[in-house]
Amino acid sequence: MTRSTRFSLRPSRRHALVSLAALASAFAIPDGRAQTHNPARTVLMVVQLDGPNIAVDRQIAAHLQNRGYQVRLVNQDFDPRDALGAQLVIISSTVSAKDVQAGWREAAVPLLTWENDLLDDLAMSGKRHDVDFGEVEKERYLWLVNAPHPASAGLPAGVANVVRKQAPMSWGKPGLGASIIATIYGQPEKAAIFTYEKGATMDYEALAPARRVMFFMDNDSFPNLSAVGIKLFDSAIDWAAGADSKTA
């Protein structure tokens, strides 16, 4: 189309062409920048990809995706240096702790785990198994002790039935800078859910490089969580990822 022809279009035709252009723009596939996900919803989930509990890990990932998170499953030997683009790292207890690479302690990315054998490596507890971290064989209840904290899911302080049937529960004894959300029922020295804000003092006088969360689950606990357990899981994830603007 020549310059003279372009400017000689009648108003009605110009209007039609503008409308078609707008319509095409509305249905166009956005470019890479437009497709970028909200970084506050990006989760890297470290699991044992060929392990016996991978179906549970995939169920957790699907649950998070249904809540709007973008989840990527990676194997237990994933290099922590490659995780800095994520807004949250989850380390499942399905990993073999000895095969998890060093470096997660210093990684400046929010991290949540339910692998109690990693708590000492992460400086989230002391080093002594069954003294500073471990698991109880069978339990059904937690004692919520920090109702104002966002990771408490708005639940009142007191007894909470978090699983539908008795199951193993992980615990740890956190450092002085931790916020303890819940303890194993009847065993107040064993923290089942606890958090560190960025900069808080963990164990070994280490400072949390980003938010840290310990959750009480075991390898196959997720399908067994009660409605209350799911609420606590979701609120722990959201707090760790910074989806809740409150801090405590």
What CA–CA distance (Å, rounded) separates 228 from 226? 5
Reduced to 3 states, what is the DSSP secondary structure of residue 20?
A: helix
Contact 112, 213 (CB under 8 A): yes
Query: Which pTM does this prediction carry?
Result: 0.83
Question: In terms of DSSP bridges, do strands 70-75 and 42-47 run parallel, antiparallel, or are they unpaired?
Answer: parallel
Q: Spell out the domain ranges in the chain.
A: 34-241
pLDDT band at 243 (very low <50, low <70, confident <90, very high): confident
Greatest Cα-to-Cα distance within the chain, rounded to the nearest angstrom: 86
Q: What would you report as the CA-atom Rg of the chain, rounded to the nearest whole angstrom?
A: 23
Beta-ladder partners of 161: 141
How is residue 98 annotated by DSSP? G
- Considering only CA atoms, which of 120, 177, 165, 154 is closest in space to residue 234? 154
For 10, other C-beta atoms within 10 Å of its C-beta total 8
Q: Homologous superfamily of 34-241 in CATH?
A: Class I glutamine amidotransferase (GATase) domain (3.40.50.880)
What CA–CA distance (Å, rounded) separates 236 from 241? 9
Better-scored residue on pLDDT, 99 or 246: 99
Q: What is the pLDDT of residues 14-65, one digit of tens each?
A: 444 334 333 333 333 233 333 334 555 799 999 999 999 999 999 999 999 9
Q: What is the pLDDT of residues 82-116, one digit of tens each?
A: 998 899 999 999 999 999 999 999 999 999 999 99
